[in-house]
Amino acid sequence: MPGFTPEEDAVILALVRCGVPFTRIAKEVGHGAGACWARSRRLRGLSVEPEGEGVLVNPRRCHDCGKPTADYRCAKCRALWRKKHHVQPSAVEEDGI
Ligand SMILES: [Zn+2]
């Protein structure tokens, strides 16, 4: 994966702030949408990627909001998902997969 130039960083940040979808940002800067997403997280100080060795970081992110989580969705989004799909809180824990 090629790195991002400062110009590309600026473009990503500007577009993210405007609410431009990552699929379009990816086309603008010529990187993958996932890479642009990860880059924007890092640029905004939201990244949970380990920066060095020995850093224990949960690599999973909420499917819906992108918050670091131990599950497929964070507790808040899981509650929303259950509500939306009329699943009782007592139902099976492994939802959404
Ligand atoms: Zn969430």
pLDDT tens digits along 17-32: 999 999 999 999 999 9
State the sign of the Cα–Cα–Cα–Cα dihedral 12, 18, 23, 27. negative
Task: For residue 83, report the distance from its CA to the centre of ligand 1, in Å.
Answer: 14
Cβ-contact 39, 31 below 8 angstroms: yes
Structure tokens at 37: 């997403």
Helix (H) or strand (E) holding 66: none
Task: For residue 80, report the distance from its CA to the centre of ligand 1, in Å.
Answer: 9
Whole-number Å distance between alpha carbons of 25 and 3: 15
Whole-structure pTM over 0.75, yes or no?
no
pLDDT band (50, 70, 90) for residue 54? very low
Task: For residue 9, report the distance from its CA to the centre of ligand 1, in Å.
Answer: 25
Task: For residue 77, report the distance from its CA to the centre of ligand 1, in Å.
Answer: 4
